[in-house]
Amino acid sequence: MTRAVEFKVGGRRALVTGAASGIGHATALRLCQGGARVALNDLPGARLEAAVAALRAQGHDVIAAPGDLGDAHSARSAARDALATLGGIDYLVNNAGAPLTRTPIPPADLDALDDAFWDRILRINLLSTFWMTRELAPALRAARGAIVNTVSVSAFGGGASSTAYATAKAGLAGLTRELARGLAPDVRVNGIAPGLVDSGWECSFGDIHAAALASVPLGRVGTPADYADVIVYLCAGAAYMTGEVVPVTGGLRL
């Protein structure tokens, strides 16, 4: 699909987490298409290697920044390695996230939400954003850069893969606002709250395309590129926006 709006980000340096697939990979691609040099973070392994190789085959300047963002030491190490290789950073996209369940866990099923599940959910979906931001804050301040966090429409009530996931994303919305206060005026911090996503998400919600036809005014499921467009805008434009979490849902919650 040809995009009507192009972002000129030549010479910019970006780190995108959770970038081996889905929204993260689409965001890395859009940044590359605008001329940015991009570090792709994801779990170490073949999927990340293939994502980096695919972008390089298209002529883009990308590097791998492997690391498990559910672990504080690994997250900080990935951030430091990316920063050292890029030589600075202008944009940080905290996109990494995981539901840790293949089917939604009903809100009434409290027994399914044991301590280990809560701990891993909060680490990946909330704490990783703080760890990455704290590690890269000095470089982002120096560049007068921008941060964009991938939240979720479930942060505003209902429809999540689990109560733990929705709670983590609600926390991420709050963290986005607090980081915006803490890093202003040097760094803008915003987020997007995606609705339905056609991305092979680990947790299956059934026939989301049929659901979109029935409940989304725009009549379709959002593609990773749809969300990437807004993320890159919040990075490269939106000069008078900070502390905002922008719902991107095709009108799902109207």
Q: Which amino acid is at 8?
A: K
Could you please report the per-residue DSSP string of 118-142?
Answer: HHHHHIIIIIHHHHHHHHHHHHHHH
Strand (E) or helix (H) holding 97:
none
> Distance between CA atoms of 89 and 31, rounded to whole angstroms?
13
> Distance between CA atoms of 250 and 192, rounded to whole angstroms?
13
Supply the residues annotated as catalytic: 165
Among 242, 223, 237, residue whose Cα is nearest residue 7: 237
Going from the C-alpha of 7 to that of each of 156, 192, 236, the distances in angstroms are 30, 18, 7
> Distance between CA atoms of 114 and 63, rounded to whole angstroms?
37
Could you please report the per-residue DSSP string of 13-78?
Answer: EEEESS-SSHHHHHHHHHHHHTT-EEEEP-SSSHHHHHHHHHHHHTT--EEE----TTSHHHHHHH
Name the token pair of 178. Answer: 């607090």
Distance of CA 11 to the CA centre of its chain: 22
